[in-house]
Structure 1
C-alpha cells in the first residue's frame, strides 16, 4: 500500500546543480512534480532582471533558477528550525514541521505569475503578477493546481494564502515575505553573482546560523546582528548600483514606450497586428485569460519586436530597433519640482529636432527603502527585523544597530529625465548643421549628468 501523496518522498533525493547554493535538494515528490509542471518550466523563459542584462551582460539568469533558490533556502531554514527549535521541545515559540510542505510549495511558486519583462509589461497592460500567481495556484485547469490538490483538499488555497500573506502562521509568511526572507536572500546573492557585482554578497551561512522562530514570526539572535547589517548594506548597494542603474532604466523606458505605441496603434487599427503578434492581441484588447497569459514569455515578445522593426509606423519600427540593438535613452538626474518647467522646455527642443516627446522622453523615478521599521502612523509598513536576546526578548534591528539606524526610513534612489542620446552627442546627430543651435540649447541645461537647478 503506497503512502498518501503528501507523504511521498523520493527514494533517492534529486539535486539540481546551482552556482549560488551548490546544490538544490529535492526530497518530496510533490516538489519535483511542481518543478516539472509547465507553469514552473515557463519561468526558464523569463529573465530574472529584465532589461538589466543590457547593462550587465552576465545577467541572463531566469526566474526559474531564482525560484529553485528560494525553495532551497526555505528548505534549509525548515531543517534548522526542526533540528534546533521544534515545537515539541520549545513550545509556542518553536517550529511545527507540519508546516514544511506548504512553506516549500509557496517558496517554489512565489514568482510563478511573473510575465515577460515583468514590471514593465505589468505597467502597460495593467496585469498583477501576484494576483496571477494566486490564480495559477488556485485555478483547476493548471498543472500546478492539480498537483497541489492531490496533497489534500484545500491545499492550493493554503499555498495561495502564504503568497497573499493571510496564512495564519507568521513564521511561514515571514520566511517567504519579509524584509529578510528567502526570496530577498536568494535574489541578492544570485543577482550579484550574475551581474559580477561582489558588493551584493553577504554571509548567508551566518544568517542561517542565527535565524530562529518565535511565536510572532522569525527573529535573529543578537550575536548575529553584524551578519544582518551586512545583508542590509548589500541590499542597499544592489539597489543603488544594479536595480536602479540609469542605463537599465533607459532600456526600460524604451520597452515601455514600445509597448505603449503598439497599444495606441491597435486602438487606431485593430487589424494591424492580426498577421503577427497573435499572442499579444488579448493584452492589446485588455481582455485576456490565464491560459493566454501563460503563453507569453521574453522570447515571444522579442520575436514580435523583431517583426515590428519592419512595420510601416516609423515610431514603432524605430523603438523596436532601439530596444533590440541596445540603444537606451540617456538621462539627467533632477530632484527639484522647480525643474519641471525646464523639462517641458527640453521636451519642446526634442520635438523641434524631430522626435515625438511622448515616445522619446520620460520622467522615471526609482526609490526604495534599504530598511523600514514599524511606524503606527504609516498606512503601509513592512515586517521589521527582530533581534532576540538570550532571555528571549526582542529588539528591533535599528534600535540595536547604529549602521542600520542611519539607513532606516531613508529612501534611496533618484528621478531622471530621459531623452534621445542624439540630443547631447554631436557625433551621431543626423542633422547637426540644421539643428545645431537647438542641440546647444538643450545641452546647456545639463551639467555632470544632472539638470541645472534654476537660480532663485
Structure 2
C-alpha cells in the first residue's frame, strides 16, 4: 500500500481523503502549504474540542481541513485560490477549537487572517503566483463560494463537519461518497436530491443537539474554567495560548497545582461531570462552571425537487424548534452514588 494512502503531508504529490473516498492530485503550492507549520499544527487540534476526551469524536482540525479541501477540489479542480483557501481556512484555531474562544480577545477568524499574512504563508503563496487578496476574501466569505457564503446556505465547510461527526459516531446511514454523488453545484451553491437534503437536515438537527449535550458542554465548560485559572494565576498568557496545541494545554492542566485535581478527575471519572440549566425545581449547584450556547449552525440544504417549498418550510420549523437550546448551562461535579 502506498504511503499516500496514509500520510497527510503531500509528499507523494497526491492526497487520499478516506472519509469522502477522494484521491486528489496536489499542485506544488498545495504540497508546500500542507508542510507549513500552521497547517501541520492543525493535526494537534481536535475538531470537536475537549469532547474528544470522552467521546468517539476524536478527529483533528487537519482531518476536517483535508475533507473540505478534497471536496472543494472535487467541485473546483482548477481554482487554485479556492483550493488554497480550503487548506488555510482553519489555521487560526487555538487549542480545543472553539472552546477557548470564550476567553476575551481570542477569535480564530481574526487569527486565521493574521497567520495567512505571516511570512511563511505569504512567501508560499507569492512564489506560486496566487492572488492573496482573493484568497482572503474566499475565506472570509466576502467572495461567496462553496467554502463560505453569506446566505446561510449549505457549504462545504459545514457539510464536512456534519457528515464527519455522523460518520465517526456511527449515525450516518449511507457512505459519505453517496452524499457527494447526489450533490451538484449550481450558481455557486450545493443542491442535492430531496432524500439527501432530508438526510442533511437530520444531521444538522442532530449536531445542534450534540452542541447542547452533556457530552459537549461538560468538558468544554470545565476546560475553559481551568484554562482561565491558569491565565488568572499568571501561568499562561493569551499570546502563549494561541500558539499552543491541545496536548500542551493538557500537560499544563495535569501539572498545575490549581487545575490538576479537576482535570485528573475528569480524565478518570468523566461520568461525574453533570450539566443543568437550573430550570424548574432543579437548583444551580453552588460550585458550578457557567457555559452559554451562543448559536447553532443551521444552514439550509438546497434541493431542486418539486417538493422543495414544503421541505424548506419543514426545515425552517425544525430549526425554530431548536432555538430553546441556545442559552446558559451550568456544569458541576456530582459524586458517584
TM-score range, shorter chain: 0.7 to 0.9
Report what 2:63 is aligned to: 65
TM-score, scaled relative to structure 2: 0.82
Report what 2:218 is aligned to: 250
Report the secondary structure of 1:171's partner residue: coil
Report what 1:164 is aligned to: 140
Aligned-pair CA distance for 1:108: 1.3
Aligned with residue 130 of structure 1, among 88, 109, 114:
109
Verify the 8 A CA contact 1:116 1:297 in the aligned structure 2: yes
Report what 2:170 is aligned to: 196
Q: Which structure 1 residue ranges, 5 or more long, are not aligned?
A: 1-11, 80-96, 267-272, 274-279, 348-356, 373-383, 428-456
Distance 1:68 1:173, change over 3 A: closer
Report the secondary structure of 2:321's partner residue: coil
Report the secondary structure of 2:76's partner residue: helix
Verify the 8 A CA contact 1:332 1:418 in the aligned structure 2: yes
Say how many residue pairs are matched: 324
Aligned-pair CA distance for 1:157: 2.5
Report what 1:183 is aligned to: 157
Report what 1:149 is aligned to: 126
Report the secondary structure of 2:13's partner residue: strand
Verify the 8 A CA contact 2:95 2:245 in the aligned structure 1: yes
Report what 1:228 is aligned to: 197
Report what 2:7 is aligned to: none
Report what 2:5 is aligned to: none
Distance in 1 (CA, whole Å) between partners of 2:31 and 2:149 is: 21
Aligned-pair CA distance for 1:118: 1.9
Verify the 8 A CA contact 1:24 1:68 in the aligned structure 2: no
Aligned-pair CA distance for 1:370: 6.3
TM-score, scaled relative to structure 1: 0.63
Say what the alpha-carbon RMSD is for the aligned residues. 3.2
Distance in 2 (CA, whole Å) between partners of 1:191 and 1:333 is: 25
Distance in 1 (CA, whole Å) between partners of 2:141 and 2:22 is: 29
Report what 1:19 is aligned to: 18
Report the secondary structure of 2:160's partner residue: helix
Distance in 2 (CA, whole Å) between partners of 1:53 and 1:132 is: 23
Deviations 1:93-124 (A, max 9, x none): xxxx5xx1111111111111111112222212
Report what 1:86 is aligned to: none
Aligned-pair CA distance for 1:301: 0.8
Report what 2:333 is aligned to: 420
Deviations 1:238-261 (A, max 9, x none): 331x33321331111211111122
Deviations 1:248-296 (A, max 9, x none): 3111121111112222222xxxxxx4xxxxxx3x32xxxx3xxx56641
Report what 2:291 is aligned to: 364
Distance in 2 (CA, whole Å) between partners of 1:122 and 1:254 is: 14
Which structure is larger by alpha-carbon Rg, 1 or 2? 1
Aligned-pair CA distance for 1:187: 1.8
Distance in 1 (CA, whole Å) between partners of 2:291 and 2:163 is: 26
Distance 1:386 1:253, change over 3 A: closer
Distance in 2 (CA, whole Å) between partners of 1:421 and 1:113 is: 35
